[in-house]
């Protein structure tokens, strides 16, 4: 078996572990006979898969789980929290076992063999049944495909029922050697002709759909494909788009019917290229369900440790997003959930004293909105204590004496590095390390995070991140002679400032006056050190939406709008702040892709220092926050 194939089997095994874990967590909340059967089935599938991979220890461990589950199924033992905890513990061990096996050399080396079987015409009357012999091969491995050749078979009227006319061929995936395969046919060797040939992967063509374990199995609907291969496909699609642009440029000089036809052909190629890119992106999308499953388990374990009772409500688990975004979201989400458990949700006694149900609620919700993913981590706990936040902020000099920041501004402070209102650091959180990292991680994804809270009713963290980091719709602008890409989904407005519309403040900041409000103005040229004041600075102001409100970016001119393929920056350029990566434009030029949220945050930090955080908040927060009722 190739390493790639082996890795694919291991992934499948881990997926079975995750599925069983989800079923067990469901059982914990809803112990119906159907759910017990689901879990039992899951354990059985896992055992078979582990055995097939040669992970005997894993297969044995699952077998032990099956014994417990059999007791639950037969009613000899009741489902309770301790049984589920014990089963989850065993599953953890199993996962570790599979994980550790990934680091090792393949445990079994399987190969593919084509086995051809031709028997003598009198084989049937000699007690030889080729079907039974072939069936015995399934003890050695998996029959991938098979074929019966009946070309020599006469119609029924001419059939001699005792003469064998059929020949057979199958492809076997096995760790056994050709000699071991041959041994299956040992007692019939004088009446058979056996051809065994090892297949290379190129020869691994299906002969016929071959369900191995039961006649009911059908061909799988999914196929594990390496991300590298998908990326290659995407890169080729992007190259196609660029080649089309070149072609369009070449033909743009000509005039006449032939050129019109050429233009139409170019347009069609471009359209096909776009569709190809979209199709490739969709391959990378995965449902959030796996991420939610990890969080659900985390909640259960930590709630037990803290002596809290918590129900988890999941919404939008099948919302899809890019696999890499899903992976990078897990840490920030885990942190938010940990905070909710440690600080937000009360113990059953505390909740009852506050007139609440003893069991707290943690809600994880996701949905797509305007081409982005919006996530909420919400609890019905005690909420954030704005008074306590103000107290700590004043003590640390984050809020100037005598100022009275609004509650929303105070809540923003919890994302300040090192900020904690907890009197004691808990095992889970409260060390003042974390929410700033959450914001940093979300920002690195080109997203944003903010918080809403209501005293005694609960707290809600909201995250907005792009669905994919691979492709984005961008506004291409010229800035200090260099092209820059601004993600289109954050662009709210384009303004060509009239004289006096841009004003300087005494502290060095600039603002753009809009008819209804004033927004901070930033110059990417200064930030990145592009060019000078030539061409005229601030010919166009691009108003973008950020976590801290609208911000205007001054650029020389707007060039175009196009879908760009986002590429990570080379290691040597990772120091560049406020960038999501680079993109190859349709005209062949390379452009940095702006991380607008980070640009706004960094620009403020640089100019204003750390002394007065409240003063650094938007001059006017006319932000249109996502309505949480949408979630």
Partner 1 sequence: MSTESVPKDFGMPSAGARGIVASHKLAAQLSVRTAESCAKDLLHLLASNDGVTRCDLDASDVRVIDAAGLQVLLAFERSLKARGASLELRGCSPVLSQILAHVGLLGRLGTGPAGVQP
Smallest distance, partner 1 to C-beta of residue 189, A: 17
Paired tokens of 579: 């960038």
Find the binder of partner 1 among 162, 305, 353, 431 (CB under 8 A).
162
Site for partner 1 in 485-504 (CB under 8 A): none
Cβ contact 129:120 at 8 Å: no
> What's the rounded Cα separation, in Å, for the pair 151 and 45?
39
Residues in contact with partner 1, total (CB under 8 A)? 38
Ordered DSSP codes for 203-215: G---SSB--SS-T
Alpha carbon distance 6, 211 (integer Å): 20
* Strand 372-379 relative to strand 360-369, pairing: antiparallel
Interactions with partner 1, residue window 86-125 (CB under 8 A) = 123-125
| CA–CA distance, 328 with 338 (Å, rounded to integer) | 17
Binding to partner 1, residues 276-315 (CB under 8 A): none
The least distance separating partner 1 from the CB of residue 213, rounded to whole angstroms, comes to 8
494 φ/ψ angles, rounded to the nearest 5 degrees: -115, 130
Shortest Cβ 336–partner 1 spacing (Å): 49
Nearer to partner 1, 166 or 317 (CB): 166
Q: List the structure tokens of 74.
A: 């037969």
Nearest approach in angstroms of CB 2 to partner 1 is 25
Beta strands in 132-270 (DSSP E): 141-149, 167-174, 192-199
CB of 64 to partner 1, least distance (A): 28
- Which CB sits closer to partner 1, 162 or 607? 162
Contacts of residue 538, Cβ cutoff 8 Å, sequence gap at least 6: 497, 502, 521, 523, 554, 555
- The nearer residue to partner 1, 214 or 572, going by C-beta atoms, is 214
Q: Considering the complex, what minimum distance in angstroms separates the CB of residue 265 from partner 1?
A: 43
Edge-first strand order for the sheet with 111-119 is 141-149, 167-174, 111-119, 192-199
Per-residue binding string, partner 1, 122-161, x by CB under 8 A, is: -xxx---xxxx-xx--x----x-xxxx-x--xxxxx-x-x
Stretch that binds partner 1, among 8-16, 214-222, 225-233, 479-487 (CB under 8 A): 214-222
Query: Given the complex with partner 1, which of 34 and 216 has the nearer CB atom?
Result: 216
Question: In the complex with partner 1, which residue's Cβ is closer, 170 or 392?
Answer: 170
Rank residues 147 and 509 by Cβ distance to partner 1 and give the closer one: 147
**Can you list the positions of beta strands (E) in 437-585?**
448-454, 458-466, 471-479, 482-487, 491-495, 502-504, 510-513, 518-522, 540-546, 549-555, 557-567, 579-584
The residue within the footprint of partner 1, chosen from 214, 253, 516, 572 (CB under 8 A), is: 214
Shortest approach of partner 1 to residue 309 CB, angstroms? 46
Identify which of residues 211 and 371 has a Cβ nearer to partner 1 in the complex.
211
Q: Output 161 or 508, the one with its CB closest to partner 1.
A: 161
Residue 139 beta carbon to partner 1: minimum distance, rounded to whole angstroms = 12
Of 211-219, 288-296, 459-467, 481-489, the window that binds partner 1 (rule: CB under 8 A) is 211-219
Beta bridge partners of 518: 513
Report the C-alpha gap between 156 and 123 in whole angstroms: 19
Mark residues 191-210: x for contact with partner 1 by CB under 8 A, - for none.
----------------xxxx
- Asked whether the beta carbons of 603 and 590 are under 8 A apart, the reply is no
* Spatial contact of 395 and 432, defined as CB atoms under 8 Å apart: no
**For partner 1, the closer CB: 192 or 518:** 192
Crossing angle of helices 289-306 and 81-103, rounded to 10° = 130
Q: CA-to-CA distance for 69 and 122, rounded, in angstroms?
A: 50
CA dihedral sign, ordered 124, 130, 132, 133: positive
Query: Least distance to partner 1 from the beta carbon of 31, Å?
Result: 31
Q: Give the residue ranges of DSSP H helices in 311-414.
A: 323-339, 348-353, 386-395, 407-412
Number of neighbours of residue 166 by Cβ within 10 angstroms: 16
- As measured in angstroms, the least distance from the Cβ of 113 to partner 1 is 16
Q: Examine residue 48 and tell whether it contacts partner 1 (CB under 8 A).
A: no
- Distance in Å, CB of 86 to partner 1, minimum: 35
Binding site for partner 1 (CB under 8 A): 123-125, 129-132, 134-135, 138, 143, 145-148, 150, 153-157, 159, 161-162, 164-166, 168, 170, 207-212, 214-216
């Amino acid at each position: 078996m190739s390493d790639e194939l082996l890795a694919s089997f291991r992934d499948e095994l881990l997926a079975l572990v995750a599925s069983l874990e989800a079923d067990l967590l469901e059982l914990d909340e809803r112990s119906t006979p159907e759910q017990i059967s689901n879990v039992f089935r899951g354990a059985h599938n896992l055992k078979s898969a582990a055995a097939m991979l040669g992970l005997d220890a894993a297969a044995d461990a699952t077998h032990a789980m099956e014994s417990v589950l059999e007791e639950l199924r037969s009613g000899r033992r009741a489902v309770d929290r301790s049984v589920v905890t014990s089963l989850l513990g065993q599953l953890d061990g199993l996962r570790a076992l599979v994980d550790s096996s990934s680091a090792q050399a393949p445990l079994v080396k399987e190969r593919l063999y084509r086995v051809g079987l031709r028997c003598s015409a009198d084989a049937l009357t000699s007690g030889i049944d080729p079907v039974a012999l072939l069936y015995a091969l399934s003890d050695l491995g998996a029959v991938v495909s098979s074929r019966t050749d009946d070309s020599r078979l006469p119609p029924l009227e001419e059939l001699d029922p005792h003469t064998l006319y059929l020949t057979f061929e199958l492809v076997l995936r096995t760790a056994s050697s050709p000699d071991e395969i041959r041994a299956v046919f040992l007692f019939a060797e004088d009446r058979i002709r056996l051809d065994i040939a090892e297949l290379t992967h190129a020869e691994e063509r299906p002969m016929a759909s071959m369900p191995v374990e039961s006649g009911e199995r059908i061909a799988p609907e999914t196929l594990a494909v390496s991300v590298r291969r998908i990326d290659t496909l995407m890169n080729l699609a992007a190259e196609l788009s660029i080649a089309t642009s070149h072609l369009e440029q070449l033909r743009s000089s000509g005039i006449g019917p032939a050129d019109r036809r050429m233009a139409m052909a170019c347009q069609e190629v471009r359209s096909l290229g776009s569709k190809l890119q979209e199709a490739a992106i969709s391959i990378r999308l995965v449902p959030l369900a796996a991420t939610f499953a990890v969080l659900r388990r985390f909640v259960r374990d930590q709630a037990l440790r803290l002596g809290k009772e918590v129900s988890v409500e999941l919404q939008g688990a099948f919302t899809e997003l890019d696999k890499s975004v899903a992976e990078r979201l897990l840490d920030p989400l885990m942190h938010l959930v940990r905070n909710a458990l440690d600080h937000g949700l009360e113990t059953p006694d505390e909740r009852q004293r506050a007139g609440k149900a003893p069991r707290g609620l943690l809600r994880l919700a996701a949905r797509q909105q305007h081409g982005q993913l919006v996530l909420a981590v919400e609890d019905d706990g005690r909420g954030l204590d704005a008074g306590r936040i103000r107290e700590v902020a004043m003590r640390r000099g984050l809020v100037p004496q005598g100022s009275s920041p609004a509650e929303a501004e105070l809540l923003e402070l919890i994302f300040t590095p090192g900020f904690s209102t907890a009197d004691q650091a808990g095992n889970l959180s409260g060390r003042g390390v974390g929410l700033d990292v959450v914001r940093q991680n979300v920002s690195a994804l080109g997203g944003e995070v903010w918080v809403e809270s209501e005293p005694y009713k609960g707290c809600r963290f909201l995250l907005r991140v792009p669905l994919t980091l691979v492709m984005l719709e961008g506004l291409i602008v010229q800035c200090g002679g260099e092209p820059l890409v601004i993600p289109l989904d954050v662009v709210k407005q384009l303004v060509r400032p009239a004289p006096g519309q841009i004003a300087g403040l005494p502290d060095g900041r600039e603002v753009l006056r809009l008819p209804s409000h004033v927004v901070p103005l930033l110059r990417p040229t200064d930030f990145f050190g592009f060019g000078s004041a030539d061409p005229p600075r601030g010919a166009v102001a691009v108003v973008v939406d950020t976590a801290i409100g609208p911000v205007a970016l001054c650029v020389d001119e707007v060039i175009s709008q196009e879908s760009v393929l986002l590429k990570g920056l080379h290691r040597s350029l990772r120091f560049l702040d406020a960038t999501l990566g680079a993109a190859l434009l349709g005209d062949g030029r390379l452009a940095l892709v702006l991380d607008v949220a980070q640009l706004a945050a960094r620009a403020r930090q640089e100019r204003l220092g750390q002394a007065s955080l409240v003063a650094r908040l938007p001059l006017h927060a006319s932000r249109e926050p996502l309505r949480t009722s949408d979630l």
